[in-house]
Amino acid sequence: MNCELAHERIVTAAYGELPDEQLHELDRHIRNCAECGTERAQLLALKVLAEANPVMEPDANLVARSRQRLEEALDALPPKRWYEWLSQRMVNNFASLQAAPIGACLLLIVGAGAGVLGGYEVTQSRAARAAGQAQQTIVKPTAGLQGAEVSNISSISRLPNSEMVEVTYNQVVPQRLQGSLDDPVIRQLLMMASQNSESASVRDDSVGLLVAECRAGHSCQAAGIRDALMVRLRYDQDEGVRAKALEGLQPYVAEDVRVRNAVLEALMNDGDPRIRTSAISVLEPVEADTSVRQVLHTVANSDENPHIRTVSRQVLSRVPQFQ
């Protein structure tokens, strides 16, 4: 410690403001420094001298006089108007806000953060709900597709900068239904099966059932079964299905020109000779018809199968030329 610092600390110590450790250090310095010892003595002497100018308690009369004068002055002040109160409150509120800038900033940050987080959470939950409603699940490649057939794949996209690929597809969920052949739902399903099924056996079964219904005398017209049989007769790839469809159309060949034409087409164009031969049998009720006789003439002359040519000639010889 140097003497300049010691002189400052002597003043501080004289008035009880020096910390204990600095006081101890000062005492040590003064023990070894006569000049600073003199300085301290002079300061203490000053303090004694200063007491020659003592602080006096105010006289009671002085206090009373001062108080009365103050009260008179306060009484003379006009009362505050409402706008003065209002402006005072506004200034105080603003000052309070000024006095707590850190608190205000923190409040703003916390509020903004809570708002952003809350919005994010709401958005996420909505997206999750929508995804759940769409019932799209991300299936891991190792799990495989089980329990349902994939009906079609709608999109394929590769995730950027990764080996991950996202495939969006639709699945067919197998269902089973039992019911009577008179049940409209069953009939509708049989109709769909006869038109759209990829399996020939399914088409065969559905057509066979529909034909059996018609033969049993159950209503076929309203359900469009006749049309479905004609379509199957004309276009089905499977000869068994065509044969059943032809069998199912037999009751209608006499009353329905469309059925007769479909059978005539089958007689002329079907690739299976058994179906062409059956078609000749199916046409027996209308074999005297002009269009039928014309087709029989063509088949009798040009069909590749000799049996079919022979049968056609037999039918033509049996029926008179005009009916």
Instruction: Indicate whether 15 belongs to the interface with another protein (CB under 8 A).
Output: yes
Applying CB under 8 A, the site for another protein has a residue count of 48
Instruction: Indicate whether 92 belongs to the interface with another protein (CB under 8 A).
Output: yes
Smallest distance, another protein to C-beta of residue 131, A: 55
Smallest distance, another protein to C-beta of residue 8, A: 5
Considering only 28, 31, 66, 117, the residue that binds another protein (CB under 8 A) is 66
Considering only 58, 78, 147, 306, the residue that binds another protein (CB under 8 A) is 58
Considering only 28, 31, 67, 126, the residue that binds another protein (CB under 8 A) is 67
With contact defined as beta carbons under 8 Å apart, do 248 and 211 qualify? yes
Our CB check for another protein shows the closer of 65 and 158 to be 65
Instruction: Indicate whether 69 belongs to the interface with another protein (CB under 8 A).
Output: yes
Smallest distance, another protein to C-beta of residue 36, A: 13
Our CB check for another protein shows the closer of 45 and 109 to be 45
Smallest distance, another protein to C-beta of residue 62, A: 5
Our CB check for another protein shows the closer of 46 and 112 to be 46
Considering only 2, 53, 135, 175, the residue that binds another protein (CB under 8 A) is 53
Stretch that binds another protein, among 43-51, 114-122, 215-223, 238-246 (CB under 8 A): 43-51
Our CB check for another protein shows the closer of 52 and 222 to be 52
Instruction: Indicate whether 100 belongs to the interface with another protein (CB under 8 A).
Output: no
Cα(127)–Cα(116) distance, rounded to whole angstroms? 16
Instruction: Indicate whether 18 belongs to the interface with another protein (CB under 8 A).
Output: yes
Stretch that binds another protein, among 66-74, 125-133, 245-253, 297-305 (CB under 8 A): 66-74
Tokens coding 108: 């703003």
Q: How far is CA 322 from CA 128, 235, 292, in A?
A: 78, 33, 12
Which of 258, 261, 232, 227 shows the shortest CA–CA distance to 246? 232
Scored b (16 or more CB within 10 A) or e, 160-198 reads eeeeeeeeeeeeeeeeeeeeeeeeeeebeebbebbeeee
Which of 146, 152, 241, 147 shows the shortest CA–CA distance to 193? 241
Angle at 306 between CA 300 and CA 307, to 5 degrees: 90
With contact defined as beta carbons under 8 Å apart, do 263 and 251 qualify? no
Considering only 14, 189, 231, 268, the residue that binds another protein (CB under 8 A) is 14
C-alpha 50: how far from chain center: 88
Smallest distance, another protein to C-beta of residue 109, A: 24
Task: Give the dihedral of Cα atoms 247, 255, 217, 238; nearest 10 deg.
Answer: 20
Tokens coding 7: 């002189």
Considering only 19, 28, 31, 70, the residue that binds another protein (CB under 8 A) is 70
Smallest distance, another protein to C-beta of residue 91, A: 7
Considering only 24, 28, 88, 183, the residue that binds another protein (CB under 8 A) is 88
Site of interaction with another protein (CB under 8 A): 7-8, 11-18, 23, 40, 42-59, 62-63, 65-67, 69-71, 73-74, 77, 80, 88, 91-92, 95-96, 99
